[in-house]
Amino acid sequence: MPVSSASRLDLDPASTSHHGGMNRQRHSPAPALSAAGLRKSFGDKVVLGGIDLHVPEGTVFSLLGPNGAGKTTTVQILSTLIPATGGHVRVAGRDVRTEADRVRAAIGVTGQFSAVDDLLTGAENLLLMADLHHLDRREGRRRAADLLEEFELAGVASKTAATYSGGMRRRLDLAMTLVGDPGIIFLDEPTTGLDPRSRRRVWQIIRDLVAGGVTVFLTTQYLQEADQLADRIAVLDRGKLVAEGTPDELKRLIPGGHILLRFTDQGELGAAARARGEGARDDEALTLQVPSDGSVKSLRAMLDRLAGEPVEVAALSVHTPDLDDVFLALTGHPGTDSTGTDSTGTDSTGADKDSPR
């Protein structure tokens, strides 16, 4: 449960190994990945302040958080790129510190920044991976051809990656990760910067992978993405996990969506508030916040109700729950500089009483 995992973090770090043991008992499938008391600092700057993770085999785990929360650092440690400052991490049953090569043989990583060779063609990139996985020539060529086909890159296979669009490049990146048939895949913000269509395509690829039994560790700053793909979500904020649970469990923690109505003067606001009978009223901003699930039906019902009143609505915005709401609900402060979020129709300051806008 979210609340209990949040409080679990407040416990003495010395007891983390004990908790690791408890986790193992609670989840019956073998863990593909587990971390206990994972810490990382760069000099004085603490990036990860002791986090526990447990990802059962064959599931999708999503680490959700704004820029700077520590998501990429976590992936870099789990994928053997950088060493942790403290804590224990096991991936595919191996210690990332002492058995890095065994871990590397079991994982595939698609980082936030494209890891393709721009000067090579799509096919050459895949053949390079095949060679590095020590596949024999014929097998490597077959694998590359299959992946090019599967990721709809066959048409551009002989063009250099430098000429690819963002979506194509990301697909090539994923395909390269899959050449070695990894059992565990790390995806660090796999859809950041992609257009909605490419994003959906990547989602479908991830779903297909999971259907094939692969374990996926995904970081994202989009609540919707975690919701779409993950079995479990952990919310990372300033290097600490503030909640963990299934998407439904998390969404229950978030205040529902609402419709924000703005009026020209106090009189209008008063009349509307009386007509609605419910909703949070802000006399200074001249706004009325009405709970809503964001559906057209609820919007129409509300407008119908106001239609009978002599009030003029100056502005209206529909607010759907987003990462900012999660953060506000869980941490009491907004997700800050998650400027990349693109939730349409969102007024992220809607819940903020001091909002002058």
Q: Measured from the CB of residue 241, what is the shortest distance to other proteins in angstroms?
A: 23
302's CB contacts (< 8 A; 6+ apart) are: 259, 276, 290, 292
Judged by CB, which is closer to other proteins: 23, or 160?
160
125's CB contacts (< 8 A; 6+ apart) are: 116, 117, 161, 172, 176
Q: Measured from the CB of residue 354, what is the shortest distance to other proteins in angstroms?
A: 37
Judged by CB, which is closer to other proteins: 111, or 239?
111
Judged by CB, which is closer to other proteins: 184, or 250?
184
| Sites of contact with other proteins (CB under 8 A) | 76, 79-82, 101-102, 104-105, 107, 109, 111, 113-120, 124, 128, 131-134, 160, 176-177, 180
Q: Measured from the CB of residue 105, what is the shortest distance to other proteins in angstroms?
A: 4
User: Measured between alpha carbons, how far is 321 from 255 in angstroms, rounded to an integer?
Assistant: 7
Q: Measured from the CB of residue 218, what is the shortest distance to other proteins in angstroms?
A: 16
Judged by CB, which is closer to other proteins: 140, or 257?
140
Judged by CB, which is closer to other proteins: 104, or 319?
104
Q: Measured from the CB of residue 237, what is the shortest distance to other proteins in angstroms?
A: 23
Residue 265 three-state SS: coil
Give the per-residue SS3 of 194-256: CCHHHHHHHHHHHHHHHHCCCEEEEEECCHHHHHHHCCEEEEEECCEEEEEECHHHHHHHCCC
Task: Return the sign of the alpha-carbon dihedral for residues 255, 72, 96, 217.
Answer: positive
101's CB contacts (< 8 A; 6+ apart) are: none
